[in-house]
């Protein structure tokens, strides 16, 4: 390695990563098609092996995560769900039982059996149980813990006399929203607190004054969306900051002038997609019509008899009878509505989704299973979860709403790599979320 | 610290009265960790005294052992705080303890929360210590998120603002791309009780920032900071000649990235700047495309080309332009 005395630490660090990544890209581009096809394919068997093994046993080095075991459950089980799979009944029951042992008398979950209840591990436990689904899992969740974590200043603390930050706010509100117990007491002053954490850069920091940061940006935006106060944020500057966090490697970094990391694929792409959908919905309201380039259906009705309208220029339009015209009209109206519908249900993502997917697949994905931050770092379950979640978000980024499936061209590696869609505000697989909501709205 | 911490707890006489409590993992736990023996045993004894709520000197020592094995265990930190209070323990010693844990792993929320708790109890007397501690962490990792949060908290709660702007400058001299240092600069000029606030500081800060921009026009941090100096004051933002001038200077150069200068011009136009001929000529000189009559549109078009990663974003910005210039 040549001496680079004129580079600052930031420049040097960035240069080293860039080198590694671009070498991977050029090796890939130079390889034959068959190799390329194989390389971009997510090896589902290997991924599932890695995940299932983690669920069953973890080595001593995991002692550093001894206070985070519900997180490990969530990272693994959510990853399995993203891959379109589920675990057998035995593992499911064991997970429910284990999480039950992590649960305290006030309903909150700790990092392991007998540990103090904590918002982060409660979020992880709730999301795990939602992912598992089924009445047994969902009915095991108990609700009282959240109120005690509320701080008079509007935010939330992560545990008794614990730290207070934007992350804690998101954890509490996400749980409350899924369990259908969101109320004024919980949301009181919250919007003000999060607003005070949006920085001059446009992103959101952990506490008022802290630097704009991907994880906190996701947490802040998602919380504001859940409490329907999103418009209070400066959305233009937020959007601007996020898109600038996609670096030369095409992956996302977490802060200005910092390094790319696979996990930011989720923390940055999710708010991006969310913002675009918010802008679209806003345009919808503003213009009173569908936001796309084709004529509105109202316009079409007006133009149905317009000779200049190319749609009316066909054989049927030669018929004199009203019935004929009506048939023509309704047939073309249907065609146009379908085209209208499809066009208005898709949008060009503001970030470069395919190249983002390329970074994740070529640089973060480990062929033997698991995902990592960047080349040279070891794989782990946290990165596996957020790289897969981020990939899912990237694949679905062209969809304006949750019911519009991706096209083959939206997915790097084609449909074989398709991952289940997530709910952007909670990061659980969509249909599991829907079942949970059904359950908790019934239970009221 | 026990006289010989490598002796298993079960063999230490002072613990002979305690029955260790094993973890209630159940018969078929998921994500089970194959704990090493010393880890398992230490936590079994911790569980016992946590359950019995024993707030004694030996309990304090035990929490230290547990934290050295896993500094992420917030339950242990929480209980340690209860014991420290009960024993009215020397909190200056506690600061040293935290520093020793930080040596091995400074990236955990719990350690910093604990530090904040201790510092808050000790008050303004430790303002200097907190600045020294965070400075030492930042000397190893100048962007350490927790260290910066703690430093900001310490300034606001305990004081010591006097040299902070100088400290920011020191860090920026070493690495002008350190966004955390720019963020801290903003924190200082907006909140320091010894400075006048954003407006009075604006002129000197603009001058500082323009210099930084001209030295490294591709440095995102400095451009964002420049805009920040005009927060909530769009009128000044579009009318201050320094802002236009730095954009035009950068655009006239051939040796650097033009993206930030162009996007700043775009923002100015969208905020109401009436472009001069100089603006128009500068932008047109960079256009390969047919110059559009709407200058903001043209800027977006050029940006799609010079900043291709964000081509979709600049196209989206173009679609949102409402100013007719």
Residue A396 tokens, joined: 């679905």
Inter-chain CB proximity A162 and B312 less than 8 Å: no
Give a yes or no: residue B62 inside a domain: yes
**Which tokens go with A99?**
């999480």
User: What are the chain A neighbours of B313 within 8 Å (beta carbons)?
Assistant: 239, 243, 350-351
DSSP A330-349: HHHHHHHHHHHHHHHTB---
Give the domain extent around B75: 1-89
| Residue B261 · residue B303 · CB < 8 Å | no
- Cα–Cα distance measured from residue B33 to residue B188, given in angstroms and rounded to the nearest whole number: 45
Which residues make Cβ contacts (< 8 Å) with residue B314, sequence separation at least 6?
B300, B301, B303, B304, B307
Dump the DSSP string for A388-401: HHHHHHHHTTTBSS
Which candidate in A90, A99, A211, A283 is best for mutational testing of the B interface (most B CBs within 10 A)?
A211
Q: How many CB atoms lie within 10 A of CB A422?
A: 25
What pLDDT is attached to residue A293? 33
Contact of A167 with A219, CB cutoff 8 Å:
yes
**Cα(A93)–Cα(A390) distance, integer angstroms:** 28
Of B152, B179, B312, the CB nearest to A255: B179
Residue A253 CA to residue A264 CA, distance in Å, equals: 6
The count of CB pairs under 8 A between chains A and B is 192
Read off φ and ψ for residue A203, nearest 5 degrees: -80, 180
Contact A101 B72 (CB under 8 A): no
Annotated catalytic residue A363: no
Using a CB–CB cutoff of 8 Å, tell me whether B77 touches chain A: no
pLDDT in tens, chain B (325 residues): 455 558 999 999 999 999 999 999 999 999 999 999 999 999 999 999 999 999 999 999 999 999 999 999 999 999 999 999 999 999 999 999 999 999 989 898 899 999 999 999 999 999 999 999 999 999 999 999 999 999 999 999 999 999 999 999 999 999 999 999 999 999 999 999 999 899 999 999 999 999 999 999 999 999 999 999 999 999 999 999 999 999 999 999 999 999 999 999 999 999 999 999 999 999 999 998 777 779 999 999 999 999 999 999 999 999 998 877 6
Q: Do B31 and A54 touch (CB under 8 A)?
A: yes
- pLDDT tens, N- to C-terminus, chain A (444 residues): 555 568 999 999 999 999 999 999 999 999 999 999 999 999 999 999 999 999 999 999 999 999 999 999 999 999 999 999 999 999 999 999 999 999 988 889 999 999 999 999 999 999 999 999 978 777 777 667 888 899 999 999 999 889 999 999 999 999 999 999 899 999 999 999 999 999 999 999 999 999 999 999 999 999 999 999 999 999 999 999 999 999 999 999 999 999 999 999 999 999 999 999 999 887 766 554 333 333 333 333 333 333 333 333 333 334 344 444 444 444 445 444 544 455 578 999 999 999 999 999 999 999 999 999 999 999 999 999 999 999 999 999 999 888 889 999 999 998 999 999 999 999 999 999 999 999 888 865
Q: Residue A213: what pLDDT?
A: 98
Going by C-alpha positions, the residue among A138, A141, A135, A131 that lies closest to residue A76 is A131
pTM of the model: 0.91
Q: CB-based contact (8 Å) between B216 and chain A?
A: no
* Whether A105 contacts chain B with CB within 8 A: no
pLDDT at A366 (0 to 100): 98
What phi and psi, each to the nearest 5 degrees, are found at residue A429?
-60, 140
A250, A261, A332, A379: which one is catalytic? A261
A410 touches chain B (CB under 8 A): no
Cα B282 to Cα B252: distance, rounded to the nearest angstrom? 7
| Whether A413 contacts chain B with CB within 8 A | no
Question: What are the residue boundaries of the structural domains of chain A, listed by start?
Answer: 10-39+245-292+318-413
Paired residues of A103 in beta bridges: A109
Please report the residues numbered 84 through 123 in chain B whose beta carbons come closer than 8 angstroms to any beta carbon of chain A: 109, 112-113, 116-117
> How far lies A128's CA from each of A32, A116, A124, A178, B186, in Å?
41, 19, 6, 12, 40
* Shortest CA gap B135–chain A (Å): 16
Give the closest-approach CA distance of B180 to chain A in angstroms. 6
- Please give the Cα distance from A11 to A13 (Å, whole number): 6
Distance, C-alpha B303 to centroid of its chain? 30
The verdict on a CB contact (< 8 Å) between B309 and A246 is yes
CB atoms within 10 A of CB A85: 14
Helix and strand counts by DSSP (H, E) for chain B: 17, 0
Please report the residues numbered 207 through 226 in chain A whose beta carbons come closer than 8 angstroms to any beta carbon of chain B.
Answer: 207, 209-213
Q: Which among A280, A189, A207 is positioned nearest to A239, based on CA atoms?
A: A280
Q: Biggest alpha carbon distance in chain A?
A: 85
For residues B168 and A3, the answer to whether their CB atoms sit within 8 Å is no
Question: Token match 């040097």: residue?
Answer: A12
Paired tokens of B196: 């006048």
Q: A118 at the B interface (CB within 8 A)?
A: yes
CA atoms within 13 A on the CB side of B264: 31
Which residues on A lie below 8 Å from B152 (Cβ)? 207, 209-210
Catalytic hit among A372, A373, A385, A433: A373
> Which residue's entry shows tokens 């399995």?
A80
- The verdict on B233 touching A (C-beta cutoff 8 Å) is no
pLDDT (0 to 100) of residue A319: 38
B139/A97 Cα distance (integer angstroms): 46
Q: Which residues pair with A380 in a beta bridge?
A: A371
A323-360 pLDDT, tens digit each: 444 444 444 454 445 444 555 789 999 999 999 999 99
In-domain check, residue B189: no
CB nearest B33 (choices: A62, A98, A160): A62
Domains: count for chain B: 1
Of A95, A348, A350, the CB nearest to B30: A95
By CA distance, what is A244's nearest residue in B? B310
B55: in domain: yes
Q: By the 8 A CB rule, do A388 and A421 touch? A: no
What local confidence, expressed as pLDDT, does residue A308 receive? 36
Taking CB atoms and an 8 Å cutoff, what residues of chain A touch B145?
Answer: 206, 210-211, 213
> What pLDDT is stored for residue A296 in this prediction?
33
pLDDT at B4 (0 to 100): 54
Residue of B34, B183, B310 lying closest to A243 (CB–CB): B310
- Give the ipTM of the model, two decimals please: 0.96
Q: Within chain A, how many helices (H) and strands (E) appear?
A: 19, 0
Contact A58 B34 (CB under 8 A): yes
Among A148, A232, A258, A345, which one carries the catalytic annotation? A258
Give the chain A residue nearest B308 (alpha carbons).
Answer: A352
Domain membership flag for residue B45: yes
Non-local CB neighbours of A290 within 8 Å, separated by 6+ positions: A284, A296, A340, A344
CB of B24 within 8 Å of a chain A CB? The answer is yes
* Known catalytic residue at A431: no
CA angle, corner B6, sides to B5 and B8, nearest 5? Answer: 95
Whole-number pLDDT of residue B47: 98
B33–A63: do the CB atoms touch at under 8 Å?
yes
Distance CA B195, CA B189 (A): 7
Q: Note whether A10 contacts B35, CB cutoff 8 Å.
A: no
């Amino acid at each position: 390695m040549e001496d680079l005395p004129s580079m600052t630490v930031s420049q040097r660090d960035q240069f080293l990563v860039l080198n590694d990544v671009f070498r991977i890209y050029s090796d890939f581009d130079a390889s034959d098609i068959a190799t390329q096809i194989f390389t971009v394919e997510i090896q589902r068997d290997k991924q599932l092996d890695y995940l299932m093994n983690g669920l069953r046993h973890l080595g001593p080095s995991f002692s550093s995560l001894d206070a985070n075991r519900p997180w490990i459950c969530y990272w693994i089980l959510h990853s399995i769900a993203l891959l379109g799979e589920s675990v057998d009944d035995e593992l499911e029951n064991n997970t429910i039982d284990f999480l039950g042992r992590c649960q305290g008398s006030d309903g909150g979950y700790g990092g392991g059996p007998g540990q103090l209840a904590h918002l982060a591990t409660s979020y992880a436990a709730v999301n795990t149980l939602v992912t598992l689904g089924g009445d047994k899992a969902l009915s095991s969740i108990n609700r009282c813990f959240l109120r005690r974590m509320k701080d008079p200043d509007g935010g939330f603390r992560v545990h008794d006399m614990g730290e207070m930050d934007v992350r804690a706010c998101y954890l509490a509100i996400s749980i409350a929203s899924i369990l259908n117990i969101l109320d004024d007491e919980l949301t009181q002053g919250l919007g003000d607190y999060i607003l005070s954490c949006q920085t001059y850069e446009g992103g959101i920091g952990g506490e008022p004054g802290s630097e704009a940061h991907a994880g906190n940006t996701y947490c802040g935006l998602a919380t504001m969306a859940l409490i329907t106060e999103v418009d209070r944020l400066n959305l233009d500057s937020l959007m601007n900051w996020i898109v600038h966090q996609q670096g030369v490697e095409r992956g996302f970094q977490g802060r200005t002038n910092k390094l790319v990391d696979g996990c930011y694929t989720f923390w940055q792409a999710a708010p991006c997609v969310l913002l675009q959908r918010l802008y679209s919905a806003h345009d919808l309201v503003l213009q009173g019509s569908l936001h796309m380039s084709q004529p509105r259906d109202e316009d079409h009705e007006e133009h149905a008899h317009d000779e200049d309208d190319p749609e009316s220029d066909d054989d049927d339009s030669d018929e004199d009878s009203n019935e004929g015209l009506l048939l023509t009209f309704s047939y073309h109206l249907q065609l146009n509505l379908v085209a209208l519908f499809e066009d208005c249900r898709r949008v060009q993502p503001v970030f470069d989704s395919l190249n983002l997917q390329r970074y994740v697949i070529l640089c973060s994905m480990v062929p033997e299973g698991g995902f990592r931050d960047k080349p040279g770092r070891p794989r782990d379950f946290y990165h596996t979860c957020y790289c897969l979640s981020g990939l899912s978000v990237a694949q679905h980024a062209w969809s304006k709403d949750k019911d519009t499936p991706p096209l083959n061209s939206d997915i790097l590696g084609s449909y074989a790599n398709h991952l289940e869609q997530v709910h952007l505000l909670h990061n659980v697989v969509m249909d599991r979320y829907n079942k949970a909501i059904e359950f908790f709205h019934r239970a009221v | 610290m026990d006289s010989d911490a490598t002796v298993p707890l079960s063999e230490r006489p002072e613990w002979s009265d305690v029955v260790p409590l094993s973890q209630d993992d159940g018969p078929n736990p998921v994500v089970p960790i194959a704990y090493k023996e010393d880890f398992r045993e230490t936590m079994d004894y911790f569980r016992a005294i946590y359950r019995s709520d024993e707030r004694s000197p030996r309990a304090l020592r035990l929490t230290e052992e547990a934290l050295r094995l896993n500094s992420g265990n917030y339950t242990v930190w929480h209980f340690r705080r209860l014991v420290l209070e009960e024993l009215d323990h020397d909190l200056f010693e506690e600061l040293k303890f935290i520093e020793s844990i930080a040596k091995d792993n400074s990236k955990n929320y719990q350690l910093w929360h604990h530090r904040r708790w201790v510092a808050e109890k000790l008050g303004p007397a430790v303002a200097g210590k907190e600045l020294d501690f965070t400075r030492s962490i930042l000397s190893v990792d100048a962007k350490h998120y927790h260290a910066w949060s703690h430093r900001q908290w310490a300034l606001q709660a305990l004081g010591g603002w006097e040299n902070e702007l100088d400290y920011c400058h020191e860090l920026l001299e070493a690495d002008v791309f350190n966004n955390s240092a720019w963020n801290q600069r903003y924190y200082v000029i907006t909140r320091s009780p010894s400075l006048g606030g954003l407006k009075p500081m604006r002129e000197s800060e603009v001058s500082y920032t323009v210099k930084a921009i001209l030295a490294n026009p591709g440095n995102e941090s400095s451009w964002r900071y420049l805009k920040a100096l005009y927060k909530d004051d769009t009128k000044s933002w579009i009318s201050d000649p320094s802002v236009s001038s730095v954009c035009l200077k950068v655009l006239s150069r051939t040796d650097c990235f033009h993206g930030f200068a162009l996007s700043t011009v775009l923002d100015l136009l969208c905020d109401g700047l009436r472009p001069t001929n100089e603006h128009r000529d500068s932008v047109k000189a960079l256009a390969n495309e047919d110059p559009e009559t709407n200058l903001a549109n043209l800027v977006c078009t050029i940006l799609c080309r010079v900043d291709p990663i964000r081509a979709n974003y600049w196209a989206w910005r173009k679609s949102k332009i409402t100013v007719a210039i």
